[in-house]
A and B are shown apart, each in its own frame.
Chain A
């Protein structure tokens, strides 16, 4: 599913070159539920941006479903994000002026799915995350947990190859976090590939396989 071969990313900070990622090597197979743990500043965000095709690597090869992403154009990257990646962010990243259903619908609009199909797909996924009753509420009218479930529904609606969650429970209390993680378990059992990036060991412990990232190096966790 995902394969990273010697992927590096540098940032210029004044005179110094910072290796946000330093020859990262790892792979995730289809249907796996993987957690990547690391403290802040370890290169987590950079890794997530590259996996999520928001950014490209400076060196090395990144293959998503066997395709080399490195020299894709902006438009091609947008296309990949739209079809293959389902993002779940720490602070949900819902559009405040849109209702829950409209937020979920957004990727389908960019995928150019016909309106009547969109309506059906949106209501299906909102059902699946248990928010069928709240579809016309705006994010401000929903609790944190509900907002995160809207975000999961938005990721789910395009049936992506990979769910990419960045600190998905970071803004939630422990009870709500547990609910969200249970939802991830369900998604995993349905055969989806999930990659969770977090600094929280407990969240990572819920996954099948744990990796660590530190100073730009990615390695299998030795628990």
Chain B
């Protein structure tokens, strides 16, 4: 019986192709926007989270807001590495000063740290080398600059070995970073330099004791375990005041990011689902017209023995079929659109999200059932005598 109803529905749709297509249009647009939007957001999320985890998912950033008049010296922080077996520990401070080379001068952001920071952040050098532990111990005036700074201040010439004035102090450049491809695909367009932590203490008045540092957990330990260790030792160090410091786990950031993107997917999907709903109203509208037009057909079918249920099934299946065909066209269209966008932006690995296709199919079927029910029941309720009499 279902197979017969499918055949009848197919025949009815095939008889009036243009109308069927226009009826489907709402569903086609709804499904396409749902599948394309969710697929794009999913693919983008995946590349963003991949990038975040490649930056070192297990990195912890410690910030101290209140040192209880017992400041942490950089030596004390560095000593934590051996005391607790952390893979890396690097104090961190930033300051903005004026960089001057010849007649060129501009504001530069200085990051004072230790060599371990290069490994933690995955900084790679194009020329020269990173400063070493001895440079930190001896507060040597050396710096590693990003490639934009090298290009700006040294106009393409080799920057390594040259001297630049940072905040009025002459500093020798020992390394230039690789041209970085940022997380979202754009290069840094600002002047940045990494210098030994101790050197920054000399250049900038505001940097004295350690306000923040980054830690990489010991091999075989998770970020959460290392966080527990750090929390315990800082509580002990800062009079048991949990408010005096904060530890940010990179996993937390990734999780937060994922939840933000999850919310975004949900909202975009919701908007697309609304357009699918509008498509359903279109189906109901046309089905109602169709039922009126086919009153005589309904009368004939009832005269030869079609029951209430068979007429109901016939029109309901027709509505579901229209919705599902529209859904199939929409999925094909989405596939094309995602393919083209993927070809234009290969970095993101755009692909159709299988999950959302399943949702689209289920939702379209539901739309067909919900919006087909009323016209179908109207058809099934027709009085055969009156239906046969209609033109």
User: Which chain A residues have a beta carbon within 8 Å of chain B's beta carbons?
Assistant: 49, 52, 54-55, 74-75, 78-79, 81-83, 87, 89, 93-95, 97-98, 106-107, 109-112, 154, 158
Query: B133 near A: Cβ within 8 Å?
Result: no
> Are A110 and B384 in contact, CB atoms less than 8 angstroms apart?
no
Most buried by B among A82, A83, A94, A154: A82
With A and B bound together, what is the CA distance between A183 and B326 in angstroms?
48
> Are A154 and B304 in contact, CB atoms less than 8 angstroms apart?
yes
Residues of B contacting A111 in the complex (Cβ-Cβ under 8 angstroms): 305
> Are A110 and B310 in contact, CB atoms less than 8 angstroms apart?
yes
CB distance from A165 to the nearest CB of B (A): 13
B1-23 contact mask (Cβ, 8 Å, vs A): 1 or 0:
10010000001100100000000
> Are A110 and B385 in contact, CB atoms less than 8 angstroms apart?
no
> Are B385 and A75 in contact, CB atoms less than 8 angstroms apart?
no
CB distance from B297 to the nearest CB of A (A): 6
Query: B308 near A: Cβ within 8 Å?
Result: yes
> Are A82 and B305 in contact, CB atoms less than 8 angstroms apart?
yes
Query: B302 near A: Cβ within 8 Å?
Result: yes
* Interface size range of chain B in the complex: 20 to 34
> Are B11 and A55 in contact, CB atoms less than 8 angstroms apart?
no
> Are A74 and B308 in contact, CB atoms less than 8 angstroms apart?
yes
Residues of A contacting B304 in the complex (Cβ-Cβ under 8 angstroms): 81-82, 87, 106-107, 110, 154
> Are B307 and A54 in contact, CB atoms less than 8 angstroms apart?
no
Partner of A83, one of B15, B303, B305, B384: B305
Residues of B contacting A54 in the complex (Cβ-Cβ under 8 angstroms): 302-303, 384-385, 388
With A and B bound together, what is the CA distance between A87 and B306 in angstroms?
13
With A and B bound together, what is the CA distance between A170 and B303 in angstroms?
19
Residues of B contacting A78 in the complex (Cβ-Cβ under 8 angstroms): 302, 305-308
User: Which chain B residues have a beta carbon within 8 Å of chain A's beta carbons?
Assistant: 1, 4, 11-12, 15, 296-297, 299-310, 384-385, 388
- A sample of 28 cross-chain residue pairs with beta-carbon separation below 8 angstroms, ordered by A number, consists of A54-B302, A54-B388, A55-B384, A55-B385, A74-B307, A78-B302, A78-B305, A78-B307, A78-B308, A81-B304, A81-B305, A82-B304, A83-B305, A89-B388, A93-B296, A93-B299, A93-B388, A94-B300, A95-B300, A95-B301, A97-B11, A97-B15, A98-B11, A107-B304, A109-B4, A110-B301, A110-B304, A110-B307
> Are A110 and B388 in contact, CB atoms less than 8 angstroms apart?
no
> Are B309 and A81 in contact, CB atoms less than 8 angstroms apart?
no
With A and B bound together, what is the CA distance between A119 and B203 in angstroms?
98
> Are A93 and B1 in contact, CB atoms less than 8 angstroms apart?
no
Residues of B contacting A79 in the complex (Cβ-Cβ under 8 angstroms): 305, 307
